[in-house]
Amino acid sequence: MSSKSSVRGLADASLLLTTVLWGLNIVVVKAAISQLDPLAFNAIRLVLSTFALGLLAALDRSRSTPSSTESKTDPTSTELPPRRTPFPTARVIVFTLFSGLIYPLLFIFGINQTPAGNAALLLATMPIWTAGLSFLILHERLPRLVWIGLSVSLVGTVVVIVSGGKVDLSASYWIGNLLMLGAAAAWASATVASGPLLQRIAPMRLAFLANLVTTPIHLLIAAPKIPAALAQLDQPAALLAVIYSGALSTGLAYGTWHYGVSKLGGSHASVYQNFVTLIAVLAAWLILNEQITSFQIVGGIGLFIGLYLMRRGRRVARPAEQKAG
């Protein structure tokens, strides 16, 4: 196996791990905010997330730091040093706002005001948002086969969710639904903004930076309600929910997600978002003994077909791009 193939395989594995962590997180957060104030829960978990990402970023930096001999310039070389491009400060700010502030707030408010099925259905629009924004902002042109894969994946996700009978289209949930749709668009915006940044900033470091800047804002917003929430963490279920959602789902998973984006691109990575729903269904089957319908199985197969078409479309596109270059 070539080094490029192994890197892409690792990136796919990272994205798959991310979907597992996020799929379980929907159930965990929904249960946790029935006991804890949503804003307080969100702030506390983000503190844990920041510590986890800081540790991972430090470990990643120590492992990837070049040796002193490699970092020195060859004095006999006649080549000019590479030209340094300005640091993309504006793009970092945009990414930080969408990833660390806007998305978490819209997500926590939205999931508190709409059923989990509605939330999963609306979050399934992320790949379409990402592909559309990548086209408009980054001028990323996707092959027709990739668009077909995205569409098949979206249809499969809708089938999985709707056939589970947990979608409620009542007018009473329209605010929560709108917030979740905004959360999907915000995360897609952060993913698109992160693409060029990840060519200069390590994935763990970028995620840590966004959390480090925005977590104090979340703490200020939730400050009056945090003491009561901390007092409730003597309950094992609430404590485990905060640890899982903080250290893993918004900690480790943010790093693995950005790593996948850095290697495969936002549009390719975004199709994994739809597997979050499938993981949530499987978790409910294994943990809560909920039944899986035949339509959900068909929808799950559709998800895998969509992912295969996406990967196939990417492989076909690469040789064409190399010839054109």
What is the mean predicted confidence (pLDDT) over 300-317? 71
pLDDT surpassing 70 at residue 126: yes
pLDDT surpassing 80 at residue 84: no
Q: How far apart are CA 98 and CA 210, in angstroms?
A: 9
What is the mean predicted confidence (pLDDT) over 226-247? 91
pLDDT surpassing 60 at residue 228: yes
Give the CB-side neighbour count of residue 132, counting CA atoms within 13 A. Answer: 11
Helices (H), the chain: 3-32, 38-64, 68-71, 89-96, 103-112, 116-123, 126-137, 144-162, 174-197, 203-222, 226-231, 236-243, 253-264, 266-270, 275-287, 294-324
pLDDT surpassing 60 at residue 322: no
**Domain ranges (residues) in the chain:** 3-61+88-324
Q: Give 208's pLDDT tier (boundaries 50, 70, 90).
A: very high
Residues 42-68 pLDDT 10s: 999 999 999 999 998 998 776 554 444
What is the mean predicted confidence (pLDDT) over 164-175? 74
pLDDT surpassing 50 at residue 115: yes
- Nearest by Cα to 281 from 256, 257, 305, 298: 298
pTM for this prediction: 0.75
Residues 146-155 pLDDT 10s: 778 778 877 8
Q: What is the mean pLDDT of the chain?
A: 80
pLDDT surpassing 60 at residue 320: no
pLDDT surpassing 90 at residue 112: no
Q: What local confidence, expressed as pLDDT, does residue 323 receive?
A: 46
Q: How far apart are CA 39 and CA 219, in angstroms?
A: 9
Residues 283-292 pLDDT 10s: 767 765 666 6
pLDDT surpassing 60 at residue 212: yes
| HEC sequence for 28-57 | HHHHHCCCCCHHHHHHHHHHHHHHHHHHHH
- Nearest by Cα to 123 from 188, 185, 184, 176: 184
Q: How far apart are CA 274 and CA 8, in angstroms?
A: 19
List the single range of 16-30, 108-122, 216-230 with lowest mean pLDDT: 108-122
Query: Which of 20 and 320 is assigned the larger pLDDT?
Result: 20
Q: Hey, what long-range contacts does 165-171 have (CB within 8 A, 24 or more apart)? A: 165/117, 166/115, 166/116, 166/117, 167/115, 167/117, 167/118, 167/121, 168/114, 168/115, 168/117, 168/118, 169/118
Q: How far apart are CA 38 and CA 41, in angstroms?
A: 5
Residues 238-275 pLDDT 10s: 899 999 999 999 899 988 888 888 888 777 777 787 77
Q: How far apart are CA 308 and CA 303, in angstroms?
A: 9
Q: How far apart are CA 30 and CA 168, in angstroms?
A: 16
Q: What local confidence, expressed as pLDDT, does residue 123 receive?
A: 80
Residues 182-205 pLDDT 10s: 998 998 899 888 888 888 888 889
Q: How far apart are CA 131 and CA 187, in angstroms?
A: 12
Query: CA distances (Å), 319 to each of 17, 278, 314, 316, in order?
Result: 29, 32, 9, 6
Exposure string of 28-64, with b = 16+ CB inside 10 Å and e = fewer, is bbbebbeebbbbbbbbbbbbbbbbbbbebbeebeeee
Structure tokens at 287: 């943990």
Q: What local confidence, expressed as pLDDT, does residue 69 receive?
A: 41
Q: What local confidence, expressed as pLDDT, does residue 98 receive?
A: 94
Which one-letter DSSP state was computed for residue 113? S
